[in-house]
Structures are given as C-alpha cells and as structure tokens.
Structure 1
Amino acid sequence: MRIKKLLITLFILLPAWWAGAQDNGIANPEQATGLRAGGKIYVVLAVAITILLGLIIYMIRLDRKLTKLEKGQ
C-alpha cells in the first residue's frame, strides 16, 4: 500500500520537476559546455533513470515477498 502511495506521489511531482527544469539559462545552444555540448547529458540521464527504475522495481518485488511471508505466518 505504501508503494502505491509513493508511486502516485512520484507521478504527481515529476511533471512539476520537469517543468521547472526547462529554464536552463543558456540563450544559445552553442554556449553549452561540458556534457551538454557533446550531447552526453542524455546518456547520463538514461543511466540515472535506469538505475532509479531498477531500484523501484526491486523495492516493489521486495515488498511483495515480505507481504507474502507475513501472511504465511
């Protein structure tokens, strides 16, 4: 039950976070430096999302296993 509340909260808060992240302060893309300049920021973002999704799936599976064990006793 707590996992459902957590997921609902994340789905509500993530769009607001993404909307706030739109203002990057760089007027021209040519001024971008570092990871942005080479387009590697998308690789970093993909890795971070993959790790977060893996953790969420792990927590959901662990919660289901614990619930099953608790009901069995």
Structure 2
Amino acid sequence: MRKIAFTLMMLMTTLSLFAQNNDVEMADALRSNGKIYVVVAVIVLILVGLLAYLFALDKRLKMLEKKSSDKN
C-alpha cells in the first residue's frame, strides 16, 4: 500500500512540471547570442572533472583495500 501511495505522490508532483510554460527569457537570450554553448561546455567540463576525480579516488581506494587485505 505504501508503494502505491508513494508512486501516486510522485506522479502528482511530475504533473505540475508539465503545467509550466516554456518561456525562459535567459535561455532565449543566451541561445540568440550563441553563449548557450559556452554554458553547456562549462557544465560538461565540470562533470567530466568530477567523474575523473571519482575514478581516481576509486582506484586509490581499491589499491589501499588490496594492501590492507594482503597484510592480513
């Protein structure tokens, strides 16, 4: 019963998202000036940097786990 109630609640919240209009003046201005590509490039660069950091961190953690399991 809780799953059904949770699902219905989530569906009701997503319905309100469709009711919003698509007039975003800032996005239109950036698109018309061609600066939207700069914004997208910066966001992609930040995400790639975060992913690279997470993979490097995961690699270090695996190496430390391997060292600690070899000692035991």
Match of 1:11 in 2: none
Match of 2:61 in 1: 66
**Which of these two proteins has the greater Rg computed from alpha carbons?**
2
When normalised by structure 2's length, the TM-score is 0.56
Higher RCO (CA < 8 A, seq sep 6+): 1
RMSD of the alignment, in Å?
Answer: 1.5
Partner amino acid, structure 2, of 1:39: G
Unaligned runs of 5+ in 2: 1-21
Matches of 1:62 and 1:71, distance apart in 2: 14
SS at match of 2:28: coil
Partner amino acid, structure 2, of 1:33: D
Report the count of equivalent residues.
Answer: 43
Partner amino acid, structure 1, of 2:48: L
Say which structure is richer in helix: 2
Matches of 2:53 and 2:28, distance apart in 1: 35
Runs of 4+ aligned structure 1 residues displaced above 4 Å come to: none
Matches of 2:38 and 2:47, distance apart in 1: 14
Unaligned runs of 5+ in 1: 1-24, 26-31
